[in-house]
């Protein structure tokens, strides 16, 4: 990889090697970390992502189970499955793959997961703890971005970090985690006027717009660190991100590619959260 690329695959490997050591320690005490992934429907992208999570669990010596449910399942039926997993001592982490079908209230399902098993970091209790800086499960993608910055020796204190996107899954927690490391944080979103005015000030730019190649070199300050959270298929059916990588890499001091940047880190942090959930049972 070029000198200014942040290799997410390589860093994810370092993270999961440490997780593997922790898993082995837990096993020596009679505990095998267990992750349950609930998949509703047959969306190909979700299926691929879930399969990758399951394979990573197996590689790290963790227990995993995948529960596949029909697209037309009722909300009550889904909640019944979640409650069973809450009560299953073999399961330390529960992940319900989003998005869910329209007949199901995602907020209600997330709230039904025990905060002690919410390894996605979406439960309101864990979001609240994250907000005030208490130890908790962090949302996996923003957690992964923080690890990328840490392993890449990118200083955050006093830097201006601009986050484009305000979703509960990425944008909002991303800004808060950067703030906790003493960055000055600006949030931008679909209603922001004169986006260039903000992005050109960014020492660190995290892009989670959901729009392919929305950000290009014209948006960047020379030497900015660019973190691309997006993933899409372009007109040639090749993967691309929210950033026009070809132009941005000429301006950025550090940049994540797509694929091979943030994506592998999301799964790595899910494994770390699941391991942590299992470790927490030792304190009971």
List the pLDDT tens digit at each of the 284 positions of the chain: 468 999 999 999 999 999 999 999 999 999 999 999 999 998 777 788 888 899 999 999 999 999 999 999 999 999 999 999 999 999 999 999 999 999 999 999 999 999 999 999 999 999 999 999 999 999 999 999 999 999 999 999 999 999 999 999 999 999 999 999 999 999 999 999 999 999 999 999 999 999 999 999 999 999 999 999 999 988 888 999 999 999 999 999 999 999 999 999 999 999 999 999 999 998 65
Catalytic residue among 97, 172, 176, 254: 97
CA dihedral 195, 201, 204, 206 (to 10 degrees): 0
Assigned token pair, 41: 């429907």
Q: How far is residue 36's CA from residue 69's CA, in Å, rounded to a whole number? A: 13
53 is a catalytic site residue: yes
Name the strands in the sheet holding 34-40, side by side, starting at the edge strand that comes first in the sequence.
Answer: 63-69, 34-40, 93-96
Using DSSP's 3-state secondary structure scheme, residue 36 falls into strand
Closest CA to 99 of 41, 52, 174: 41
Catalytic residue among 118, 120, 203, 242: 120
Query: What pLDDT, on the 0 to 100 scale, is given for residue 51?
Result: 87
- Its pTM stands at 0.95
Residue 259: is the preceding peptide bond cis (ω within 30°)?
yes
Q: How far is residue 211's CA from residue 245's CA, in Å, rounded to a whole number? A: 13
Determine the number of helices (DSSP H) and then strands (DSSP E) in the chain.
Answer: 10, 10
Query: What pLDDT, on the 0 to 100 scale, is given for residue 221?
Result: 97
C-alpha to C-alpha distances, 260 to 92, 149, 164, nearest whole angstrom: 28, 15, 20
Assigned token pair, 118: 């919410």
Catalytic residue among 53, 117, 147, 172: 53
**Residue that the structure tokens 């837990």 belong to:** 26
211 is a catalytic site residue: no
Query: What pLDDT, on the 0 to 100 scale, is given for residue 283?
Result: 65
Residue 243 has phi, psi (to 5 degrees) of -110, 140
Query: What pLDDT, on the 0 to 100 scale, is given for residue 266?
Result: 96
Query: What pLDDT, on the 0 to 100 scale, is given for residue 1?
Result: 41
CA dihedral 238, 242, 247, 248 (to 10 degrees): -130
């Amino acid at each position: 990889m070029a000198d200014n690329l942040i290799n997410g695959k390589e860093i994810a490997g370092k993270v999961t090697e440490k997780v593997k050591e922790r898993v082995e320690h837990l096993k020596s005490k009679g505990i095998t970390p267990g992750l349950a992934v609930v998949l509703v429907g047959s969306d190909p992208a979700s299926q691929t992502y879930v399969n990758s999570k399951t394979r990573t669990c197996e590689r790290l010596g963790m227990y995993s189970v995948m529960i596949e449910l029909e697209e037309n399942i009722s909300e009550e039926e889904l909640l019944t499955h979640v409650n069973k997993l809450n009560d299953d001592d073999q399961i330390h982490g529960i992940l319900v793959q989003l998005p869910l079908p329209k007949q199901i209230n995602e907020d209600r399902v997330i709230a039904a997961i025990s905060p002690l098993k919410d390894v996605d970091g979406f439960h309101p209790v864990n979001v609240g703890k994250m907000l005030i800086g208490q130890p908790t499960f962090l949302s996996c993608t923003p957690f992964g971005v923080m690890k990328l910055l840490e392993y890449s020796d990118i200083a955050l204190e006093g830097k201006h970090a601009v986050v484009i996107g305000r979703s509960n899954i990425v944008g909002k927690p991303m800004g808060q985690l950067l703030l906790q490391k003493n960055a000055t944080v600006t949030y931008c979103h679909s209603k922001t006027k004169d986006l260039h005015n903000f992005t050109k000030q960014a020492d660190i730019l995290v892009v989670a717009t959901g729009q392919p190649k929305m950000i290009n070199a014209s948006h960047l300050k020379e030497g900015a660190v660019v973190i691309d959270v997006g993933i899409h298929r372009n007109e040639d059916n090749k993967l691309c991100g929210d950033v026009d990588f070809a132009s941005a890499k000429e301006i950025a001091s550090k940049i994540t590619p797509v694929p091979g940047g943030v994506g592998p880190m999301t799964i790595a942090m899910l494994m770390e959260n699941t391991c942590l959930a299992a470790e927490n049972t030792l304190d009971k």
